[in-house]
Amino acid sequence: MSTLPSVVLAEVVNELPVPALVYGLGFFAGFVVLAMITYSYRNVANKRRGPQGGHQAGH
């Protein structure tokens, strides 16, 4: 009998260094941080406008 079927049917198990829940929580925390950074740039364009009101005001 050939050893090929036993190699094909062998189960390969790679254990994770931490539980899968930790990966999910880590990615979720990363996305929350990125969302907070994105949210911090809100209304930036309006802060740069001077007393004339906007780009087209002087034309």
DSSP-derived letter for residue 16 is -
pLDDT band at 14 (very low <50, low <70, confident <90, very high): confident
Domain count, the chain: 1
Residue 39 covered by a domain: yes
The Cα–Cα gap between 30 and 37 comes to: 11
Q: What is the mean pLDDT of residues 12-24?
A: 92
pLDDT digits (tens, 9 = 90+) for 27-44: 999 999 999 999 999 988
Q: What is the mean pLDDT of residues 44-50?
A: 73
Q: Give the residue with greater pLDDT, 30 vs 45.
A: 30
Residues of the domain holding 21: 17-43
Provide the residue type at 47 as one letter. K
Residue 31 within a domain: yes
Task: Return the residue matching tokens 């809100």.
Answer: 42
Alpha helix ranges (H) inside 1-59: 4-9, 20-39, 44-47
pTM, two decimal places: 0.56
